[in-house]
Structure 1
Amino acid sequence: MLLRPTRFTSRLAPLAPSARFFRSQSAHAMSTLAAFKDYFSASSKAYAKFRPTYPPELYEFLSSLTKEHNLVWDVGCGSGQAANGLSAYYKQVVASDPSSAQIENAPRLHPNVRFEVARAEDDPVAVLGLTPGSVDIVTIAVALHWFDLPRFYERVAQIAKPRSEGGTVIAAWTYILPTFPKGCEPLQEILLNYYHNIVGPVWDASRALVDQEYATIPWPFEHIPLEGKYTEGYGSNGVLRGHFVCERHVDLAMFVGHLTTWSGARRYEELHQIDPLTLIYDDLVKHWPGASEGKGPNGKGELVTLTHSISVRLGRVFSD
């Protein structure tokens, strides 16, 4: 039986006086991101089950940028997709997210990953127990567009290493809509229509930052020069494209499960009192290989390979 869409159920510490990033005009410009918009707690179990993980090649690349491999602060960690992956490359990962439901549903796969409920803008020393100058790399996986950037950047500076120690790497990445394989063009068209025309009008304004692959987000960090193959697709703004992808083999139920975790879907139902997936579900069944005949490993359609292209924005921050 196919998974049908169901109806959704629907401490900021003071800033340090010495904080240096993004005041006045920048803070005002990004004020729309200041409030915690909790679109994910109600779907946290689905988020943990259906959201993609990231390739080991990405973690290997990031680890090559740091002199030491002691501590990661993974911010806006969701249910730990990146935190658990980074655990193989660093001695300790501190993963934080403002949603207690997300943290509760994050799989505890590795003893060196510590999950905490905290906002990106919270004081990482007071709230998370991080020591100033202790963090090798700060990672943000498909979450930076939700942050109050001026305040978050000030928090990053609090725990950054000094220039004499090479500073702290900051890496934020996002991925664009998945690409269906050849022969599944009707499914690609259904997805694009859903994204742009159905939930598109109700996406949060910050979604535009994802569509722009984080290239337009304010980024007050020192440029990290790259060598070898990574010089291709690497811009002066610190955005690296074309080197990392998520590949997932999904049936229709898994694909629909992923779409249920979109904040735009939740927002659509809040406004229109209807699950937007019901508007495309019959077309998905019609065009998904084997779905209408109950074929596939679980009787929910054949497995289809989806490819997400990942864009990574890189920088280095110093405490001094």
Structure 2
Amino acid sequence: MGVVVELGKARKAVGSASALTTLVEEDMGRVNAIIIERARSHVDLIPELARHLIDSGGKRLRPMLTLASAKLCDYTGSGHVHLAASVEFMHTATLLHDDVVDESELRRGKKTARMLWGNEASVLVGDYLLGQAFKMMVDVGSLDALRILSNAAATIAEGEVMQLITANNTATTQDEYLAVINCKTAALFAAACEVGGTIADRPKSETAALRAYGRNLGLAFQLIDDALDYSGQQADLGKSIGDDFREGKITLPTVLSYRWGNEAERDFWRRTLQDGDIQDGDLEHAISLIERRGAGEATVERARDYGAIARDALAIFPDSDAKEAMLETVDFCVSRAY
């Protein structure tokens, strides 16, 4: 007998995006049931490790966007539920792989799977979840949906390689960084929304609009995370304040602070992010430099710009509860207080 993954109290409402949570509540119950079923295995380590990540309290935003997009397009079948579960498994697999590549020790305040079971187990369980995701896509029987999500999987992997190239490189440009998050984060947001319209067999103009909505929402979401990591206040980000700094990650606030700083400030960023020489008080100093140069504000402003584009993308759809929920989600992602 295999071990069963129990979601327990892991699923949390998406903050102030209450309209989205309410809109898809019933379908998300079905998605969670599928996740439990598909995470079964006679190899006990697989569901045990998967349960560790699921129980850490993710928001499930991406699968909820798949469900909402399908509702926006008046889809009446059941394929969107399986596609939403596929999207969540892809995201979970990505987190497992990310933590190995980034050598992360904590995720959402808990030890990462790699710290408990090792890098090899984390990578292989991530691969298992990806395999299950693609099996569910095949079960739905939509070649277009399979194409969209498989392309997203390849793009995410490309983003990981791009991030390796820019890792600890303080000379990274804005364009280079935005290209990384476009692949790593925005690609899955875009695909999650696009498949909702594709499964409903809507015209390309509408599926393209959903893709644009998801992509720009994903960029805004990631940039706000980047800014909040240096906000200087504790927040329920799904990570601790300063994680990016401690891991030497290059994000837009550090790119801008480095570019706009004086030579002494650039020396500080090279020592900490490039050389990995982080000393007591350095995080506080990093936060002060980002505040001094306005890099955090500039990052948030860029996120607002992407959020505005996401909102505009939905203009071709008639007013509905689904549209209102998706517009509210943009506001949540951009203005969330955590």
Larger helix proportion, structure 1 or 2? 2
- TM-score between the two structures when normalised by the length of structure 2: 0.30
Larger strand proportion, structure 1 or 2? 1
Q: Which has the higher contact order (CA 8 A, sep 6+)?
A: 1
